[in-house]
Amino acid sequence: MAKLSPLMLAPLVIFAGFAGLALVGLQRENPDELPSALAGKPAPAVQITPLGESMLFSDSDLRTGEVKLVNYWASWCAPCRVEHPNLAQLAADGVTIYGVNYKDKPDNALGFLKELGNPYTALGADAEGRMALNWGVYGVPETYVIDGKGNIVLRFAGPITQRVLDSTILPAIAAAR
């Protein structure tokens, strides 16, 4: 039997590695869901700057004993427009939502809120995306359910549609209480 050279063996090793990663991905409860390394851990530091006259929120606001959401959004984000009515409904139902405007122009962000309404209890801007990087944000919109102790219960990447609200967000809020 011929001996395999390292050059012939390399493609097999690479293929085996990819196959192993695919198997791990298929074994997740929901393979379409982006995992969060922060689930169950304290929310990272809040590092935002003022956006217009809006009230800012801080680390201590995430640890008030009540469940809340942290929502990353931007005026240039079409899916953010899609989820906005559901955020407004959550706010009307008494859910505290903190907004983080991500890599946006302040005038555009304020225009977005003026046009669609402001569902946020408090909000700020993350113009450089530093806070988002610490939170593991892939893109907007992304929403985090935070328990009363300031721990991340759920990270949801994508727009909060009615289906997502009913099947994912509301159950996570209930579990966090």
Which domains, from first to last, does the chain contain?
A: 31-176 (3.40.30.10)
Q: Output the CA–CA distances (angstroms, integers) from residue 90 to 6, 65, 98, in the order listed.
A: 58, 18, 12
Q: Tens digit of pLDDT for each residue in 42-75?
A: 999 999 999 999 999 999 999 999 999 999 999 9
86 or 25: which leads in pLDDT: 86
Q: Tens digit of pLDDT for each residue in 141-170?
A: 999 999 999 999 999 999 999 999 999 999
Helices (H), the chain: 6-27, 78-92, 106-116, 130-135, 162-164, 170-176
Nearest Cα residue to 171 out of 92, 158, 163? 163
User: Residue 6: phi, psi to the nearest 5?
Assistant: -55, -35
Helices (H), 36-168: 78-92, 106-116, 130-135, 162-164
Does the model's pTM come out above 0.85? no
Is residue 36 within 8 A of residue 122, CB to CB? The reply is no
Of all helices (H) and strands (E), which one includes residue 122? strand 122-126
Q: List, in order, residues 6 or more apart from 174 with CB less than 8 Å away.
A: none
What is the predicted pLDDT for the residue at 3? 66
Q: Tens digit of pLDDT for each residue in 72-83?
A: 999 999 999 999
